[in-house]
Amino acid sequence: MDLKQISEMQIKLDQLHGFPVSFLDQHEKYAQLTKDLVGLFGEIGEFSNIVKKVNIKLDRPLEYELNITDSEKLLREELVDSLIYIIRIGAILGVDLEDEMLKKMQLNKSRYAQLRRE
């Protein structure tokens, strides 16, 4: 399943749940985008808290109790939640994330190719 289809599924689900992705004017649109950005901060913050704990565990294995395998499961979940917000914000901005990623990767590829020639 491609990124475009996943985005469309997610957006339909959001609309069902009452989260709008189309707006009457710019004020409404940016008010929603700002709220979703705060939502994204929240998810990345939760991800960060788990990374913080894993780093403490790796620094002080005997003093600090933590099961890293369990933590990784949580990290994966928070990362997916972050991705969902990125896709929502992309829908608000009308970004074709798949298309833009391919363009960006193409751009980076030629940049690096040039660097290797230098």
20/47 Cα distance (integer angstroms): 26
- Residues in contact with a copy of itself by the rule CB under 8 A: 1-3, 6, 9-10, 13, 16-18, 26-27, 30-31, 33-35, 37-49, 51-52, 54-55, 58, 60, 68, 72, 75-77, 79-84, 86, 89-90, 93, 95, 97-98, 100-102, 104-105, 108-109, 112
Residue position matching structure tokens 């929240």? 42
CB of 48 to a copy of itself, least distance (A): 4
CB of 111 to a copy of itself, least distance (A): 9
CB of 109 to a copy of itself, least distance (A): 6
